[in-house]
Amino acid sequence: MYITTPLLQTQHLKSWDLTPRQFCDLEMLLSGAFAPLQGFMNAAEYHQVRNHQHLNSGKYWLTPVLLDVTPSFANSLSIGETIALRDAEGMLLAVFTVEGQFRAAPPDSDAIDAVCLEGQLQGIALPKHYHAAQEHQTPAQVQTYFREKGCQNVIAVLPQQAIHRLQWESACSYAQNLQAGILVQAAIGLAHPEDPAHFTRLRCYRQVLQRCSTPVQLNLLNHASRGEPLQEMLLRVLVLHNFGVTHLLVTPAQADTLTPHIATLGLKLLIEPAPPVEEIPLRAYRDVELSHHLHQGLSVPAEFSYPEVLSELQRSYPPRHRQGFVVFFTGLSGSGKSTLANALLMRLMEIGGRSVTLLDGDVVRKHLSSELNFSKEHRDINVRRIGFVASEIAKSGGIAICAPIAPYTQIRREVRQLVSDKGGFMEIHVATPLSECEKRDTKGLYAKARAGILKGFTGIDDPYEIPENPEVCLDTSHRSPAECVNQILQCLINMGYLPSTIACSA
């Protein structure tokens, strides 16, 4: 399926930048993982699969594999034209000669009649893997490995999260009885390249694999999961077959769902023993939840997982008082944001242990956002930038204190969402009334706004939308800054972001 078209000859071709799903599918097609499929489905194959669950060749198949494109790109093409298929960085991976177009429903899209291309696919290069390249083996490489090790059978283990001890021990014992090797295959297709959980899981798998004396391979599959769980599982089984797998280790519940289909799939099921009753709730935990369970000092039965796996989880998901977080002040000009942010900065520096960065509204406007004005559009850009920088700080385990006016709910919500994926988030509404802010008028701006010299001033002739659910709400009119900061510190302790041992009195 590969050709060696010199790059020069492809430079004049129109390019289609593959979507994340298509990027994964292309690797699955080119590597042989989706055999007998050799290219994206044409209309006839698509309808066969949709209506009769098999390919034109008669092979059982459930899931559409489509090259859907935008209508404008489709309109620009003519029959017989060759296009370049590229990854997100513009790397040429394949060329595709268009033979027709049809309407279909791609698996991960809302579109029910997207324009799809049919034609001939010719691979040029497999996608580059910047990490663990040796574990992205093709089906042929995996088959060769087990053949050379003299394995008559290959048992597949498909881990979702950390591999449980019971699961692994039953895989090893089945392997001994069947003279089998073990293939641990993890689908990582759409995992974000910076997803730390992905790397944690890999370290856990590698730890577990070392405990086995039978030939064993860890294989990272660039597969984009799709469809409902049964359909996805059946697709994974078809793929495993292409990797030379003869048996699949499943839970009793998975066995119940797969058994009616197994005759068509060509694999035998091996059933894990049911876990002891006390482990059932733990099994439902994702790694991060299990880790929090450990950090709270709750017991995990020794049978549940290996000590090195548990300590890896604890290391990767530190307790909250060692995670990064963002304190996001919002409020009118003169409400007290800068005063409180600076006082909090000092207290957190005093406590120590994490780096602390202050992103004050005025200061950010001098540096990061110097070209922006105070229109809604520019205020949103400004706050979004602050949120982005803060989220990066939290991701690296630091503390970011932000103190912009941030008058709009939608953008504050966006920042909360962005940060929450990476660390803690605390919104503080400095709810000092406008009358008090105006009385303070530390910079003389309210006077200018009232006099009409300064236009679009927040609270005077520009809106401030009251925060919906801030973690803390402070009216600074009748309280000292120290009192306010103590309340914030106490809230951080309650949320677990600071150890309860720190003193909260000024």
Ligand X SMILES: Nc1ncnc2c1ncn2[C@@H]1O[C@H](COP(=O)(O)OS(=O)(=O)O)[C@@H](OP(=O)(O)O)[C@H]1O
How many Å is the maximal CA-CA distance in the chain? 88
Return the DSSP state at 497.
Answer: S
Q: Which is nearer to ligand X, 285 or 374 (CB)?
A: 374
Q: Counting contacts by CB under 6 A, is residue 484 touching ligand ADP?
A: yes
Task: Say if residue 335 carries a ligand binding annotation.
Answer: yes
CB of 471 to ligand X, least distance (A): 19
Residue 458 interaction partner, one of ligand ADP, ligand X, none, beta carbon < 5-8 Å per kind:
ligand X
What residues contact residue 173 under an 8 Å CB cut-off, 6+ apart?
Answer: none
Q: Counting contacts by CB under 6 A, is residue 385 touching ligand ADP?
A: no
Measured between alpha carbons, how far is 391 from 204 in angstroms, rounded to an integer?
27
Q: Which is nearer to ligand ADP, 340 or 401 (CB)?
A: 340
Under 8 Å between Cβ of 399 and 328? no
Sort residue 129 into left (φ over 0), alpha (ψ -120 to 50) or beta: beta
Q: Which is nearer to ligand ADP, 250 or 344 (CB)?
A: 344
Q: Which is nearer to ligand X, 28 or 449 (CB)?
A: 449
Angle between helices 307-316 and 287-295 (to 10 degrees): 90
Strands 92-104 and 216-221, how do they pair? unpaired
Q: Counting contacts by CB under 6 A, is residue 339 touching ligand X?
A: no
Q: Which two tokens stand for residue 432?
A: 């000092």
**Binding piece for ligand ADP, criterion CB under 6 A, among 21-29, 221-229, 271-279, 328-336:** 328-336
Task: Say if residue 266 carries a ligand binding annotation.
Answer: no
Q: Counting contacts by CB under 6 A, is residue 361 touching ligand X?
A: yes
Residue 374 interaction partner, one of ligand X, ligand ADP, none, beta carbon < 5-8 Å per kind:
ligand X
Task: Say if residue 448 carries a ligand binding annotation.
Answer: no
User: What number of CA atoms fall less than 13 Å from residue 231's CA on the CB side?
Assistant: 13
Task: Say if residue 85 carries a ligand binding annotation.
Answer: no
User: ∠ CA(183), CA(200), CA(131), 5° rounding?
Assistant: 70
Site for ligand ADP in 397-426 (CB under 6 A): 403
Measured between alpha carbons, how far is 178 from 453 in angstroms, rounded to an integer?
85
Long-range contacts of 374-380 (CB under 8 A, 24+ apart): 374/456, 374/457, 374/458, 374/462, 375/456, 376/408, 379/405, 379/406, 379/407, 379/408, 379/411, 380/408, 380/411
Under 8 Å between Cβ of 258 and 240? no
Q: Which is nearer to ligand X, 169 or 462 (CB)?
A: 462
Residue 423 interaction partner, one of ligand ADP, ligand X, none, beta carbon < 5-8 Å per kind:
none
Return the DSSP state at 134.
Answer: G
Residue 383 interaction partner, one of ligand ADP, ligand X, none, beta carbon < 5-8 Å per kind:
ligand X
Task: Say if residue 297 carries a ligand binding annotation.
Answer: no
**Binding piece for ligand X, criterion CB under 6 A, among 52-60, 202-210, 350-358, 453-461:** 453-461
Q: Counting contacts by CB under 6 A, is residue 334 touching ligand X?
A: yes
Q: Counting contacts by CB under 6 A, is residue 374 touching ligand X?
A: yes
Rg (CA), the chain: 29
Q: Counting contacts by CB under 6 A, is residue 443 touching ligand X?
A: yes
**Binding piece for ligand ADP, criterion CB under 6 A, among 304-312, 338-346, 387-395, 497-505:** 338-346
Site track for ligand ADP across 236-265, x = CB under 6 A: ------------------------------
Q: Counting contacts by CB under 6 A, is residue 448 touching ligand X?
A: no
Q: Which is nearer to ligand X, 73 or 374 (CB)?
A: 374
Task: Say if residue 334 carries a ligand binding annotation.
Answer: yes
Of 42, 200, 291, 476, the residue at the interface with ligand ADP (CB under 6 A) is 476
3-state DSSP percent of the chain in helix, strand and coil, to 5: 40, 20, 40
Give the torsion through C-alpha atoms of 475, 446, 465, 469, to 10 deg: -20
Of 283, 320, 365, 384, the residue at the interface with ligand X (CB under 6 A) is 365
Q: Which residue has the tokens 């292309």?
A: 26
Q: Counting contacts by CB under 6 A, is residue 335 touching ligand ADP?
A: yes
Residue 171 interaction partner, one of ligand X, ligand ADP, none, beta carbon < 5-8 Å per kind:
none
Q: Which two tokens stand for residue 431?
A: 């709810």
- Enumerate binding residues for ligand ADP (CB under 6 A): 331, 333-340, 403, 440, 442, 476, 479-481, 484
Binding residues: 331-338
